[in-house]
Structure 1
Amino acid sequence: MKILHVCESIIGGTGSYLAELIPHQVAAYGRENVQLLVPETHFDFIDPAIRECGAQILTFKRPTRLLGSFLLVQRYLQAVSTFQPDVVHAHSSVAGIIVRVLGLRRNYRIVFCPHGWSVDMQGARYVRGFAEMMERKLGNAADSIIVISKHEYRRAMELGLSPDKVTLVESGIDRNVPPVPSAEWKDDRIRLLYAGRFDYQKGVDILLKAVEGLGNRFSVRLVGGFAVSEENMPETLPDHIAQLGWMDRDGVYAQMKACDVLVVPSRWEGFGLVAIEAMRMQKPVVAAAVGGLVEILGNGKYGMLVPSEDPDALRDCLASLTRETLEEFGEIGRKRFLACYTSDRMVRQIDDVYVSILPSRLPEPQPV
């Protein structure tokens, strides 16, 4: 089986998702049969697990998002012609639109994974309206749509997509804690970590408001940077908040090992992979009650949920934390992760999706 993954962006959760999936596919189908198409400017953000497994990496120029989309079209058509994939797996909205529109006449199968429906994003009403129109029109243009959370599945049904086309495959990661040393973070205060994009969707501005004036209680680290938008960040941050910039996954994991609690203040979220990465390490999670985060944390049973876009509620929740509460949620979060969110289950289910839409002449993957 020959598989081409197409991404308009690989920064954030999509990159982590592919870091679990692509090495498995290389082992099952051979490195010559797995390709990944990503922006040239995102090459350094490709997880080492993808580069080291031998998958073929293709790039396209992306000087701006708009011009990059046209250049992605050109590079994608070249890749399809040369590689002749059996399956094209498109990730997120822009790649999903391009692959489905260009796939009206084809001899390969298309799988689309939204990684968070664009119709859920906040902002101008006309943008959401356009996104909804496109998803309804292109709903049947993919052979299969993989959604990564129950929330995404419900939204697919609300969009009128056929249940026969939509498969729920909740995201997962390796059950083993990465063997990286903990970062240096000596502090008697509660060590609070944010890890992700600084874009509007992720709500880092909400967190900054929530911890304002709490330097006596918290030491805060922000790992990440802007990827989609350039929202305003304060020119200077209070002494109890440190902005560390982008890190590779091992760097993020080192910070996660050192923290006491992870905060995920998103405005909307298809899944929320960083939450299960923390739970794997037995780190408690405080998150906004949006999208897949509600499912991951079991409506507050396995972590702490607060209303979205409410810095006061987040502040109150953080101020109420005790060492005992953090330890308790860390333990139950780890159990939740092991029961529901491991990658061996995820990659098997995705293999099953591929096989279900392909002609019977193609062999099933070999066990690894």
Structure 2
Amino acid sequence: MHPDERGLWPDGIEAVAPSFKRRFSGVVATVIGVVPAQAKHVAIRALGPLPASVPQITWRDFRLGSWRRPRGRRWRIWHARRDTEMIFGMLLRDVLRQPWKLVFTSAAQKRHGPFLRFLISQMDRIIATSPQAASYLDRPATVVVHGVDTERYHPAPDRALAWKATGLPGRYGIGVFGRVRHQKGQDLFVEAMAELLPRHPDWTAVVIGLSTPTEQPFLAALKARIASAGLTDRILILGEQPIAKMPEWFRCLSIGVIPARWEGFGLVPIEAMASGTPVVAARSGAAPDLVKEGETGHLVPVDDQAALTAAIARLMALDEQAREGVGRAARAHVLAEFSIEREAQKINAVYEDIWRGD
């Protein structure tokens, strides 16, 4: 439905969440998940190439209405999550003198470079996705931990049937998600599978994620290692998958592996756990705060091949009923601590604080 038909734009929309990147990423996943939840309580719309399930405004309507103040408020909120979006927000506020307040969410668990620090200094309010991320900022931030849409990410009624529906071999699936590059640790996953799959003939491994031209040498090395292990039919590199299909992949797997050497936050652990899938995660990003060791899966040191392989082996060695029990605990943990509704409520509270300060 056109925004004007809802009577929202230009006077009714209170906040805009830009998402300028076309490729699927953690930031895109965040916008897809949280904006619909926020929209239940504030008049927020996303701006950018996103699925139809996300409440959105077109660029045409944005241009026509961005000069107007929202009904009953002095400012609209521009909620950026990338440097380009911060720059665009500054153009709206400082160059065009439009009525915007700028919010930025920082997930990085490292000190930002000089230019990004400058951009952050120009924001009206900062949100950090974890206490660790907040500690690297030069100014106070409100900590709002990411959540996941537990209706979109949910367990399969029958995991074995869900795996069979993929058409892939084996009885059980184990997988790693994320852009295929050294940072994400797919090489560690492949090495673990080279050791473990010969002992577990019912299992098939999948690697899902985008591989850009600059990362082709890393991808080629993965394929060479798989071939040398004689496992080309059991370790499958599936490439980037449609955004709409990602929840199906999470719930058909019996184990999710997150071996990243570095992460800003990392949504994959809670997306997997919400899907009732036990996880093995490296202690990077927010994983130590998301995964309950021995209850929802296992945590291992970063870049520790032996520890990663051993933790995966423990979950693979469980019988199906015991492994599903871990998955149920994982789902319950996410429902209690990391729902998208909780994240949306806390972000909206930041907006309300800005509006109260008019």
**Tell me, what secondary structure is at the counterpart of 1:192?**
strand
Question: Structure 1 25/301 Cα, relative in aligned 2: closer, same or farther at 3 Å?
Answer: closer
Q: Can you give the 5+ residue segments of structure 1 that lack an aligned partner in the other structure?
A: 38-42, 60-77, 121-127, 362-368
1:73-88 to 2 correspondence within 5 Å? 83-84=66-67, 86-88=76-78
Deviates more, 1:80-89 or 1:312-321: 80-89
Once the two structures are TM-superposed, the CA of residue 331 in structure 1 deviates from its matched residue by: 2.6
Question: Structure 1 47/268 Cα, relative in aligned 2: closer, same or farther at 3 Å?
Answer: farther
Matching residue of 1:15: 28
* Alpha-carbon distance in 2 for matches of 1:100, 1:308: 37
**Tell me, what secondary structure is at the counterpart of 1:87?**
strand
* Alpha-carbon distance in 1 for matches of 2:15, 2:153: 27
* Alpha-carbon distance in 2 for matches of 1:342, 1:6: 22
Using the size of structure 2 for normalisation, the TM-score is 0.75
Matching residue of 1:142: 123
Confirm or deny: 8 A CA contact 2:19 2:46 kept in the other structure.
Answer: no
* Alignment RMSD (CA, Å): 3.2
Bigger CA radius of gyration: 2
Once the two structures are TM-superposed, the CA of residue 79 in structure 1 deviates from its matched residue by: 5.6
Paired residue type of 1:21: V
**Tell me, what secondary structure is at the counterpart of 1:56?**
coil
**Tell me, what secondary structure is at the counterpart of 1:317?**
helix
Confirm or deny: 8 A CA contact 1:96 1:113 kept in the other structure.
Answer: no
Using the size of structure 1 for normalisation, the TM-score is 0.74
Paired residue type of 1:323: L
Q: Which of the residues 121, 134, 151 maps onto 2:132? A: 151
* Alpha-carbon distance in 1 for matches of 2:59, 2:244: 24
Deviation per CA, 1:223-267, whole angstroms, max 9, x where unpaired? 221369524212564221112222234422222222110011112
Question: Structure 1 103/80 Cα, relative in aligned 2: closer, same or farther at 3 Å?
Answer: farther
Matching residue of 2:6: none
**Does residue 344 of the first structure (1) align with residue 341 of the second (2)?**
yes
* Alpha-carbon distance in 2 for matches of 1:303, 1:101: 45
**Does residue 172 of the first structure (1) align with residue 154 of the second (2)?**
no
Confirm or deny: 8 A CA contact 1:283 1:333 kept in the other structure.
Answer: yes
Confirm or deny: 8 A CA contact 1:11 1:227 kept in the other structure.
Answer: no
Once the two structures are TM-superposed, the CA of residue 354 in structure 1 deviates from its matched residue by: 0.8
Question: Structure 1 139/252 Cα, relative in aligned 2: closer, same or farther at 3 Å?
Answer: closer
Matching residue of 1:272: 266
Question: Structure 1 177/228 Cα, relative in aligned 2: closer, same or farther at 3 Å?
Answer: same
Question: Structure 1 257/25 Cα, relative in aligned 2: closer, same or farther at 3 Å?
Answer: closer
Paired residue type of 1:233: L
Q: Can you give the 5+ residue segments of structure 2 that lack an aligned partner in the other structure?
A: 1-12, 68-74, 227-231
Matching residue of 1:333: 330
Deviation per CA, 1:312-336, whole angstroms, max 9, x where unpaired? 3222222233224633431321221
Question: Structure 1 331/228 Cα, relative in aligned 2: closer, same or farther at 3 Å?
Answer: farther
Question: Structure 1 204/100 Cα, relative in aligned 2: closer, same or farther at 3 Å?
Answer: farther
Matching residue of 1:225: 210
Matching residue of 2:18: 6
Question: Structure 1 251/260 Cα, relative in aligned 2: closer, same or farther at 3 Å?
Answer: same
* Alpha-carbon distance in 2 for matches of 1:273, 1:175: 13
* Alpha-carbon distance in 2 for matches of 1:82, 1:227: 37
Once the two structures are TM-superposed, the CA of residue 213 in structure 1 deviates from its matched residue by: 4.3
Question: Structure 1 314/243 Cα, relative in aligned 2: closer, same or farther at 3 Å?
Answer: same
* Alpha-carbon distance in 2 for matches of 1:160, 1:246: 36
Deviation per CA, 1:81-112, whole angstroms, max 9, x where unpaired? 85237111111344345545875564310010
**Does residue 90 of the first structure (1) align with residue 47 of the second (2)?**
no
Question: Structure 1 351/279 Cα, relative in aligned 2: closer, same or farther at 3 Å?
Answer: same
Question: Structure 1 249/137 Cα, relative in aligned 2: closer, same or farther at 3 Å?
Answer: closer
1:215-364 to 2 correspondence within 5 Å? 215-216=197-198, 217=200, 218-226=203-211, 230-231=215-216, 232-234=218-220, 235=223, 237=226, 238-298=232-292, 301-321=295-315, 322-324=317-319, 326-358=323-355
* Alpha-carbon distance in 2 for matches of 1:353, 1:159: 18
Deviation per CA, 1:41-71, whole angstroms, max 9, x where unpaired? xx4xx33422xx4x12449xxxxxxxxxxxx
Confirm or deny: 8 A CA contact 1:200 1:229 kept in the other structure.
Answer: no
Matching residue of 1:49: 53
Paired residue type of 1:6: P
Confirm or deny: 8 A CA contact 2:19 2:28 kept in the other structure.
Answer: no
* Alpha-carbon distance in 2 for matches of 1:211, 1:267: 18
* Alpha-carbon distance in 2 for matches of 1:276, 1:159: 25
Question: Structure 1 225/187 Cα, relative in aligned 2: closer, same or farther at 3 Å?
Answer: same
